[in-house]
């Protein structure tokens, strides 16, 4: 079965470039990384490459971090039982028209959501994230859903012969002159680069979102949670009405979709944007079991967010008209 591979980074200034790469597969066939350097944002490179084949179970990668002037070697094996479990799952992206929508079904590989035909996405993309000091995070993509598989540690290459070999390959592969190589080190070097920010983003709390309105015609349809740690979670009816508590990372952005009638002005979604430091401090004080209470005004004109009854400050909340295609929409 085919899958795509992405190589992401926290920011453009933290770009890294693979030199030698091999994705280990259960079937033993070769798979590799995209040609070129990392791109995009944490957990999302914004681009895909030629399809790879097999079941990814590890990686053996040597890459160059220009901003640290360091070659790193990553040799890892993924947790095999978890990989096999996830390969059986297909996560919902919209309402299941053939029955009750589930968070995921055990459909196996090869399912891609198609409106009116299939509502679920199987594993589609293996995503690597490269942070400073050899920190590497791996995620699995299933359409709207992105799940962290693990956090790994690459080791600096210290053998002079291995460094020379990697440098020679790097210069030849990307047609870089020795002069430009030296210039780039001076231009791009970041002396105090640290993985702490992205390690902190992996902190989890036991929480769930609870959305409500005093409007008697209120119907909640969907929640999307884009977390600081790169994960993405989607929830639809029926479980969006009573979401389970989970160990979740902190949200960076959340989207809530609802209706209070069939008119356009009654079909809405709200996007809430969160500051990590302020949100983390609030969660620390909220206790071991946290309800994020999202309270939508009866007239749909405002949204307030609380943690176990205490107001949570957000960067912003924006409300938009939105016409979704949900089974229980007002017609």
**What is the pTM (predicted TM-score) of this model?**
0.96
Domain boundary among 172, 198, 224: 198
Number of structural domains the chain divides into = 2
CA–CA distance, 210 with 293 (Å, rounded to integer)? 5
How far apart CA 102 and CA 122 sit, in angstroms, is 14
Q: What is the pLDDT along the chain (331 residues), one digit of tens a residue?
A: 999 999 999 999 999 999 999 999 999 999 999 999 999 999 999 998 899 999 999 999 999 999 999 999 999 999 999 999 999 999 999 999 889 999 999 999 999 988 777 899 999 999 999 999 999 999 999 999 999 999 999 999 999 999 999 999 999 999 999 999 999 999 999 999 999 999 999 999 999 999 999 999 999 999 999 999 999 999 999 999 999 999 999 999 999 999 999 999 999 999 999 999 999 999 999 999 999 999 999 999 999 999 999 999 999 999 999 988 899 999 8
Scan for tokens 């199987």, then name that residue.
Answer: 122
Per-residue DSSP letter, 1: -
Q: Note whether residue 93 is domain-resident.
A: no
d(CA 144, CA 46): 14
Q: Are residues 192 and 226 in the same domain?
A: no
Neighbours of 66 (CB within 10 A): 20
Strands 219-227, 251-259: parallel, antiparallel or unpaired by DSSP? antiparallel
Spatial CB neighbours of 12, under 8 Å, sequence gap ≥ 6: 39
Domain extent for 257: 203-321
Q: Are residues 30 and 131 in the same domain?
A: yes
Same domain, 256 and 294: yes
- Which of 34, 37, 90 is CA-nearest to residue 234? 90
Is residue 260 in some structural domain? yes
Distance CA 52, CA 269 (A): 37
C-alpha dist (Å) from residue 152 to 7, 18, 73, 104, 155: 14, 16, 11, 27, 10
């Amino acid at each position: 079965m085919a899958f795509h591979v992405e190589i992401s980074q926290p920011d453009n200034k933290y770009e890294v470039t693979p030199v030698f790469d091999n994705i280990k597969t259960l079937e033993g066939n070769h798979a590799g990384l995209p040609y070129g350097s990392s791109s995009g944002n944490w957990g999302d490179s914004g681009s895909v490459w030629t399809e790879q084949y097999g079941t990814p179970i590890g990686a053996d990668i040597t890459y160059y971090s220009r901003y640290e002037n360091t070659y790193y070697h990553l040799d890892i094996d993924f947790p095999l039982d978890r990989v096999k479990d996830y390969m059986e799952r297909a996560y919902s992206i919209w309402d299941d028209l053939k029955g009750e929508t589930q968070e995921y079904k055990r459909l196996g590989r090869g399912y891609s959501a198609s409106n009116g035909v299939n509502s679920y996405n199987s594993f589609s993309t293996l995503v690597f994230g490269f942070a400073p000091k050899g920190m590497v995070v791996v995620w699995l993509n299933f359409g709207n859903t992105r799940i962290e598989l693990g956090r790994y540690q690459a080791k600096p290459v210290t053998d002079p012969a291995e460094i020379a070999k990697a440098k020679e390959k790097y210069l030849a592969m990307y047609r870089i002159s020795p002069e430009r190589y030296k210039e780039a080190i001076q231009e791009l070097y970041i002396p105090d680069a640290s993985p702490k920010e992205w390690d902190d983003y992996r902190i989890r709390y036991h929480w769930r979102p609870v959305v409500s309105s005093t409007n008697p015609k209120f119907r909640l349809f969907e929640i999307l949670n884009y977390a600081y740690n790169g994960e993405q979670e989607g929830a639809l009816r029926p479980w969006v009405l009573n979401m389970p508590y989970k160990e979740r990372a902190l949200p960076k952005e959340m989207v809530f979709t609802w209706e209070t009638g069939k008119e356009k002005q009654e079909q809405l979604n709200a996007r809430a944007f969160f500051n990590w430091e302020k949100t983390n401090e609030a969660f620390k004080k909220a206790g071991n079991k946290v309800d994020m209470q999202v309270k939508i005004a009866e007239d749909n004109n405002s949204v307030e967010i609380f943690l176990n009854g205490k107001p949570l400050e957000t960067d912003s909340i924006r409300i938009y008209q939105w016409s979704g295609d949900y089974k229980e929409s007002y017609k």
